[in-house]
Structure 1
């Protein structure tokens, strides 16, 4: 073989090798997936439950009238501070005073009737005794004695009836006098008049149970406030009395107020005529901070802290994905046994990068923070994991070549 032939063969071999290498590189580039990655580190986690609601006072009194009548004196205005025992308003006492006067007169008249009844009773007694003496002497017939005794018993009954009338009238007088004390309505607690539904000259009517239309004013103790929030059914099971909370009032968006859970509702909130599917429970948070110029009804948002972890392994929430076990894939067409399906249920895990390839690793998660999951097992610190894109995490396979892009925030 000549030197020229050998040279040509060498050139062709080198060209073939180069072509194969180029094709291989081209193929690998085609099969390589670009991913965003992040290094697993330790951090502090805080789990929160967010809920919206209103600021309310821990103690308030709805004031209603105990008797009906015209309001003739109303010194209070909405927003006024009142002390316990302060006169709030006065109802016209004319009608009640008239009843008192009538019952007093009725009692005096009844006492006169008693005196007359007692005199008639005494007279009937004398007549009965006289008739009885005559009968004992065989002077008169027995029927005359019976008539006299009957007349005497009638007068006794009349006297007793007159005395009972006194008792009845005195009871009515006592009730009228008590009603007379109700014309002056005083504050039962110290606080602020937060609602005023009556004006001087208007008629007040006796309040009925659970009828907001008969509430004339509301006095609230603003020294102790609560946040009443509605928590979703999926979150309320994680709440406990005493858990801390951070409250942001819409009127003070840059200030965080603190509190603790005081009460957790046991029954869902129901709204009349509502067809909503969401089920919420009322949670009451006692504020430990003072809100300046607070008013009941202010809108707020509460972040309830349900758990904290210090210096734990964690991953971004978006890094966690789900894969079916291989056994389930193999038996998808054959085994319908429920126990097998339970054993083969989908695994939660993440994709770890080793030697430029992605490998699925099953992990056990713990606390859920605002943007991270706590990792209890299945992952080591400083591992590189895939955190996106979402579509890549959903479709990527084991051993896929990847190209790292450190775009994720820690």
Structure 2
């Protein structure tokens, strides 16, 4: 063999060796991706929880305000004191209001005496009126008797006058008959006069009685006004002593003895003397994100941790769910994309006596509970855009094509990429295929390659998520790293390294 041929063969062999070494290095570099994995496991119990923070509140809180002005002369409570319903909280200076109440009472008594006197006068007048009515009846009876006697005397007079004219009767007898008749006329006139007088007297007494009754009504009206004034004065006097309307704790005290209490409207903080909270029923107002509130239902159980009592977990229950966001804004259209919180109110079952309104608290609300479920680590869930058929179903990749693709990646000469024509054709083909985003995980195949599995999930726990479809118990799936889950592709060869997971597990156990 000539020297020139030997050199040529040596060059060819050298080039082949370099190519093989380079390809081998490139293959080793791209072939295996280091991943962390977890197992699909069956859990006896999986709970879905919503975590939210808020603050302690009493079910019933009352702001104590003065209804009348005055100087505080007695203050019986301090902030933090427990009070019972009906306890005296404070007293205002009662001198002026008590004097006004006493004056009003004296005025009422005077009108009562006047009214009593008027009623006595009316009673006497009514008695006299009844007596006058009886006298009228007697006068009418006398009048009737006088009229009968007068008619009888007239008849006697007329007969005797006829006899006298016929000279059958003496003049003396006739004159006697005429005198009797005239006498009965006088008696009749007197009886009629007495009847007329009695009738006038009755009308006069009736008018007097009506006038007295009118005067009594006027006095009664003034008496009612005096009683109303007395009631107002007594009310003002009573309001100088302020009682506790409920049993609870003085959570805020804004005044001191000697200060002036000023009545005001409810929204004016200067008018509030103190605040009492009924801590027998304790609630927590939570701010829940809009994405979580839809999963919460009335009656859901919760565990509450209060920052001031970190060692205690308090049982609670959801009693109210807000229908509108707490930070709703209608002033600007730019705010419509902002995250919104909804108010969820929970009630503590056995609140500790140390709780105070306004304390910060955190609650874990259990929204769903399932038994005997297949679960996967929550961090394994990722999203991929995958080809779909006409019905919208996922088209699984061809294993041979995946293998070919990875071989092409691993053995491209000198680490180069695939030929441009192949890449372009592949891209053109991809553009024509319809795709859709699927939620899924990357499972580890027997050949230690990654395979994307679309899954159907159920409820979420703290670190696990329920697998309804797509995975079987015992399968190994990729859980990290986060960057790997974002970039790894179907069919990628992987190398499992769970040392990081073990370190995290050790930390949790510690």
Q: Same fold (TM over 0.5)?
A: yes
Which residue in 2 is equivalent to 1:41?
Answer: 40
What do the CA deviations read for 1:314-342 (whole angstroms, capped 9, x no partner)? 3333321112231389999679xxxxx8x
Which residue in 2 is equivalent to 1:314?
Answer: 375
Distance change >3 Å, CA 331–CA 345, structure 1 → 2: farther
- C-alpha separation between the residues in 1 aligned to 2:352 and 2:268? 31
- C-alpha separation between the residues in 2 aligned to 1:122 and 1:227? 71
- C-alpha separation between the residues in 1 aligned to 2:305 and 2:116? 77
After superposition, where does 1:58-77 map in structure 2 within 5 Å? 58-77=59-78
Which residue in 1 is equivalent to 2:485?
Answer: 393
- C-alpha separation between the residues in 2 aligned to 1:201 and 1:211? 21
What do the CA deviations read for 1:349-398 (whole angstroms, capped 9, x no partner)? 11122213222111111111222222111112332322233333223322
1:148, distance to aligned residue in structure 2 (A):
11
- C-alpha separation between the residues in 1 aligned to 2:204 and 2:99? 45
Which residue in 2 is equivalent to 1:353?
Answer: 444
Which residue in 2 is equivalent to 1:100?
Answer: 101
Name which of 321, 341, 348 aligns with 1:287: 348
After superposition, where does 1:169-188 map in structure 2 within 5 Å? 169-188=226-245
Distance change >3 Å, CA 311–CA 289, structure 1 → 2: same
1:244 matches 2:301: yes
After superposition, where does 1:179-218 map in structure 2 within 5 Å? 179-206=236-263, 208-218=265-275
What do the CA deviations read for 1:102-158 (whole angstroms, capped 9, x no partner)? 2223223434554786799899999xx9xxxxxx97x9xxxxxx9999898666433
After superposition, where does 1:134-153 map in structure 2 within 5 Å? none
Secondary structure of the corresponding residue to residue 217 of structure 1:
strand
- C-alpha separation between the residues in 1 aligned to 2:328 and 2:269? 17
- C-alpha separation between the residues in 2 aligned to 1:62 and 1:18? 91
Distance change >3 Å, CA 269–CA 105, structure 1 → 2: farther
Q: Confirm or deny: 8 A CA contact 1:248 1:256 kept in the other structure.
A: yes
Moved more, 389-398 or 117-126: 117-126
1:297 matches 2:358: yes
| Higher Rg of the two aligned structures | 2
Q: Confirm or deny: 8 A CA contact 2:384 2:440 kept in the other structure.
A: yes
Taking structure 1 as the reference length, the TM-score comes to 0.77
After superposition, where does 1:340-379 map in structure 2 within 5 Å? 345-354=436-445, 355-379=447-471
1:159, distance to aligned residue in structure 2 (A):
2.9
Secondary structure of the corresponding residue to residue 324 of structure 1:
strand
Secondary structure of the corresponding residue to residue 201 of structure 1:
coil
Where structure 1 has 5 or more consecutive residues not aligned to the other structure, the ranges are 3-9, 130-135, 140-145, 336-340
Structure with more of its chain in strand, by fraction: 1
1:18, distance to aligned residue in structure 2 (A):
7.0
Distance change >3 Å, CA 356–CA 257, structure 1 → 2: closer
Secondary structure of the corresponding residue to residue 157 of structure 1:
helix
Which residue in 1 is equivalent to 2:143?
Answer: none
Name which of 258, 281, 301 aligns with 2:314: 258
What do the CA deviations read for 1:134-187 (whole angstroms, capped 9, x no partner)? xx97x9xxxxxx999989866643332122221222233234334433322222
1:78 matches 2:79: yes
Moved more, 230-239 or 326-335: 326-335
Distance change >3 Å, CA 294–CA 175, structure 1 → 2: same
1:12, distance to aligned residue in structure 2 (A):
11
Distance change >3 Å, CA 124–CA 85, structure 1 → 2: closer
1:83, distance to aligned residue in structure 2 (A):
3.1
Secondary structure of the corresponding residue to residue 278 of structure 1:
coil
Which residue in 2 is equivalent to 1:132?
Answer: none
Q: Confirm or deny: 8 A CA contact 1:367 1:373 kept in the other structure.
A: yes
- C-alpha separation between the residues in 1 aligned to 2:275 and 2:325? 24
1:200, distance to aligned residue in structure 2 (A):
1.3
Distance change >3 Å, CA 348–CA 269, structure 1 → 2: closer
- C-alpha separation between the residues in 2 aligned to 1:285 and 1:24? 65
- C-alpha separation between the residues in 1 aligned to 2:88 and 2:217? 44
Moved more, 296-305 or 53-62: 53-62
Where structure 2 has 5 or more consecutive residues not aligned to the other structure, the ranges are 2-8, 133-191, 197-202, 390-426, 506-510
Which residue in 2 is equivalent to 1:6?
Answer: none
